[in-house]
Each structure stands twice: as C-alpha cells, then as structure tokens.
Structure 1
Amino acid sequence: MPSALPPVVLHQLSLASTVLDAELGSAIVSMHVFGSAVDTGLQPSSDLDLLVTVDEAPSESQRSAVLTQLLTVSAPPGASAMLRPLEVTVLSLAHLKPWRYPARRELQFGEWLRHDLLAGVFEAPMRDPDLAILITKVRDSSIALRGPEASALLPHVPQADLERALLDTVGQWNQPEDWAGDERNIVLALARCWYTAWTGRICSKQEAAAWVLERVDDRHKAVVANARAAYLGLEQDTLPIQPDAVQAFVRDARTEVEQKLAG
C-alpha cells in the first residue's frame, strides 16, 4: 500500500482489504482510496472512502458477508482512536462498461447503515445516480491500492451525465425531513454540487464551502460557515437548531444548481 498515507489509515485499509479478499477473492480487479485521505487530509469526522471494482457481481451471500464483516473494521465518528468510519462501494465492470446512466452499484457500506446491517437488513444492488459523480472523482484523484490507475480502468463519465447526477442529487432534498439529523453533511453536499455545476470540477467539502461563502448573503454565510467549521472540528455544529436557516439555504442552493444546469 502507498506509504504516503498515514500509518493508521494504512492499517485500517489493510483490515478492510483482508475482509474484502476473504469474501470476494479473485474477483477483485482494483481497490482505490479517494476523498479526503487523498486530497486535503482527513478531518475529524471524515469517512475513509474506498472504491472496489470486481469482474463479476458478488452473490447475495457474498454481499451480506462483506457488509457484516466490514462492521468489524469500521467505527462511527469519534467512537475509536484507531478506526474511522469506512465508506466502501463495490462496482462490477460488467455493469460499468459500456457506460450507461445511472450506473449500478453492487453494494455500499457506510456507518449510517450500521443499525440495519446489525439487524440483518441488506440493500440489494441498485442503480445509483451518484456513481457518475463518484467515478468522475476517483478518475480525477485517487490512489490505487491494487490494480491499474482509475483513469485506465473506470469509464469516462460524459459531462451531460455528470450534470444529470447533480440534478438527481439535489432533487432528493425537498422537505426538512429529508435532511433532519444530517444538516451539516447536506449543506456541504449542496455546496459541492453548486461548485461542480459552475466549474465542471469536483472538490473537497471545505473547498466547496469556501467557494460558496464568497457567493452568498450573510444569512446563508452563517449556515455554510458553521457547516464548514464543524466539519473541520473548529466549532460545534449548530445547524440542527437553525431549521429555518438550513431550509432557506437548501432551497436557494438547489435553485442555483438547477438554474445553472438548465441554461
């Protein structure tokens, strides 16, 4: 594994690789780490993002085994000094090439699924618009832990499909219950969508927030600034007690993205 990554991250990736090898074995074509670990450095609450590509779709029993065993090498934010929250996405090349939108994911692991996984509830493979954004990001900036560089393996996502993914993403957030309990992450996700809609590029949460802060009024500045500072571990997250301000930002940010892409 690349020595540029911190030892504690390398250790957790090694643990995750052991789980994946045990369940998926020779079907694994590549593993790529991406996101904060590669770009701007992991923040206190950052997930450790891993994309795994296989040459054949895993069976139902393999998927449930992977998801269950990954629970042992991941931890909720702040719960462990050694383990970060893992976010692991598994894609099959058979469903990626030729490219079609939305692409299909075989499985996704994340700490937000822990309760369901412990209860034996496992998502089936599904079409996921967000994969257009994820694949674009991994092709642009990632570290190959195994297999070829991402740009040589993963399909190019056409700009039109990246824009469709942005619209589908922001279209999820309509009512307060759509972001209740996850206000900070939704605000930052909207900032990233806004940035990408304007620039065609994908950047980190804190970079997108800084970009948006230069373009919003004082009311929205308070929301975005708190989301960014809380993500960086500099302030307490106060967004759950600012429901009207959060709702106003979600509405206006979504409108900005939709109007830009409609043009």
Structure 2
Amino acid sequence: MANSGTGLPEAQAEDVVRVVRRVFGADVVGAYLHGSAVLDGLRPSSDVDVLAVLRRRTTTGERRALVDALLEISGAGDAGAGGARPVELTVVVQGDVRPWRYPPRCEFQYGEWLRAEYERGGTPGPGESPDLAPLITMVLLGDAPLYGPPPAAALDAVPHEDLRRGIAAGVPELLAELADDTRNVVLTLARVWRTLATGEIGSKDAAADWALARLPAEHRPVLVRARAGYLGAERERWDDLLPRLRPYAEYVAAAIERLISGRLRTGGRTRSRGLDRCP
C-alpha cells in the first residue's frame, strides 16, 4: 500500500479485515483495498478504504458489531502525527453484485461523516447504492486484495454506462452536503467532472489539476483551497471564500449535466480511454 501521508494505513486495513472476519467468519469471500491507496497514493487526509464481499446477508446485530469495532479503529479526522486515519468500510453480498445489476445494493457502509450518528446508536442498513459502480470499478482497477482471491474472481466488471450513471447519481447529494463537507464535495465534484469527460478515475488532487485548467478564473480559488487542504499544504478554512462556494459547485454541476445530456443525445456510443482497461 502506498503511504505518502501520516498514520499507519497498513495496520488499519489489516485491523478492518480482522474485524470483518471475526464477525462473519467463513462467510467472507474477500476484502479489497481501494480509493487513494490504489490510485496515486495516500494523502494526509485520505481515508483507508476497504470493500468486503460476503456470501450472505447481515443481521442488525452483526452490523452493530462492525460499527462498535470501527469506532475504535477509525480516526475521527485527518491523520495527525502518527494518528489513525478515517476508515471507510463498504460491505456487499456477492449475489447482489454478481451477476452485476443496476442499481447495486450495498449491505453496509461505515464512514466517519456519520460518527455522531453511530455514537448515538445509529446502525447503517442495506439499500440501493449507485456509488458502488465507481467503487467496484476502483477495486477491480486497483487489484489489491487484503484477504481472499483477486477482486476479478469475486466481482463482475461494471458496464461503462452503469459506471457513468452511478457517478452522476451522487451529484445532488454532493450539492446538498456542500456546507457540511466542503473540501470533500469541492474535490469530488471535480473528480466526477473529469471522470465523465475522460473516462479516467484518478485521485482527487489529479482531478483538481485537470479541472483548474478548465474553470473560469472566478471559480479557481475554491478548488485551489480544497486541493491545498487535501494535500496538507494548509489548514482548511472557508470563511473568506463562502460567497464563491455555491457558484463553483453550480458551475461544475452544470458541466457534469452537459456531459450526461450529450451522452444521451449521442446514444451512448462514445468510448472512454481509462475505463476500457477495466478487468
């Protein structure tokens, strides 16, 4: 695993896998690293992202056991000097994603943005999750098993049109979270834009570099600030850029919408370079 930030991501990933295997035993098909660790390397604010594939559905008690254990493993914010990174664990049932179908079903997901809810007793449950399309695509591209067979032996490739649908489906939720999760939303919108335009899935800072060359001057300071915070070059602050946040988000969302609409008008016949390499 690449480690360009702080914290101990290898140990955390192994801890996550141990928790999953303790809760589900022989029903674990495999566990796979994805996200920044398999793209361009972990950044100071990167999560440790793991996908676990199960043979069966989960119970409420099992999902709560995962939450309780992950609250201990996962860091509550950016990795400090030697501190724990935030963990994101996604669990799918193999029969829900192989053979592939859209929209896919997520069995469980833990993320630090919901820590307060977990600490109040909330337990994430199953549900449709279009975001699994890009997530599974990253798992297959990264080919980084933590336990079990290679991901291509456990998961089907995601059709390109379903990948585009899954990426675009998350945009309204991103816009709704702009005030609460500003840096992540600003960067993720840039990554969605780049992926839909080029077919390439890359890191958030690479997407920011791509988008900065295409943004009007008035929107660039927002993305520059988000990129710097993501890379640990400066502390996150938005007070001086608050009036520019929503215009930036709306501009990028409109660019995304134009790409989606154009795809529909051409009948979905264009090809993307990067994702043609999906296993």
Indicate the TM-score class for this superposition, using the shorter chain for normalisation. Answer: over 0.9
Paired residue for 1:136?
137
Q: Distance in 1 between matches of 2:32 and 2:79?
A: 25
Q: Please tell me the residue identity of whatever aligns with 2:11.
A: H
- Counterpart secondary structure, 2:187: helix
1:153 is the counterpart of 2:154: yes
- Counterpart secondary structure, 1:171: helix
Q: Which runs of 5+ in 1 are unaligned?
A: none
- Between stretches 161-170 and 26-35, larger displacement belongs to 161-170
Q: Is the 8 A contact 1:52 1:88 kept in 2?
A: yes
Q: Distance in 1 between matches of 2:57 and 2:171?
A: 29
Q: Distance in 2 between matches of 1:224 and 1:113?
A: 24
Q: Is the 8 A contact 1:195 1:201 kept in 2?
A: yes
- Counterpart secondary structure, 1:135: helix
Q: Distance in 2 between matches of 1:27 and 1:114?
A: 27
Q: Please tell me the residue identity of whatever aligns with 1:111.
A: E
1:124 is the counterpart of 2:147: no
Q: Residues 196 and 79 of structure 1: is their aligned pair in 2 closer, same or farther, counting only changes over 3 Å?
A: closer
RMSD: 1.7
Show the 5 A alignment for 1:103-118.
103-118=104-119
Give the C-alpha shift of residue 166 in structure 1: 2.4
Paired residue for 1:226?
225
Q: Please tell me the residue identity of whatever aligns with 2:243.
A: D
- Between stretches 222-231 and 38-47, larger displacement belongs to 38-47
- Counterpart secondary structure, 1:30: strand
- Between stretches 4-13 and 31-40, larger displacement belongs to 4-13
Q: Is the 8 A contact 2:12 2:48 kept in 1?
A: no
Show the 5 A alignment for 1:187-206.
187-206=186-205
Paired residue for 1:179?
178
Give the C-alpha shift of residue 94 in structure 1: 1.4
Q: Distance in 2 between matches of 1:144 and 1:215?
A: 36
Paired residue for 1:17?
17
Q: Distance in 2 between matches of 1:5 and 1:224?
A: 25
- Counterpart secondary structure, 2:144: strand
- Between stretches 235-244 and 60-69, larger displacement belongs to 235-244
Q: How many residues align?
A: 258
Q: Deviations over 1:128-182 (max 9, x none)?
A: 11111111111112411112222332111111111212221112245xx531121
Q: Residues 184 and 5 of structure 1: is their aligned pair in 2 closer, same or farther, counting only changes over 3 Å?
A: closer
- Counterpart secondary structure, 2:158: coil
Q: Distance in 2 between matches of 1:248 and 1:236?
A: 22
Q: Which runs of 5+ in 2 are unaligned?
A: 263-279
**Aligned residues: percent identity?**
36
- Counterpart secondary structure, 2:145: strand
Paired residue for 2:50?
50
Give the C-alpha shift of residue 93 in structure 1: 0.5
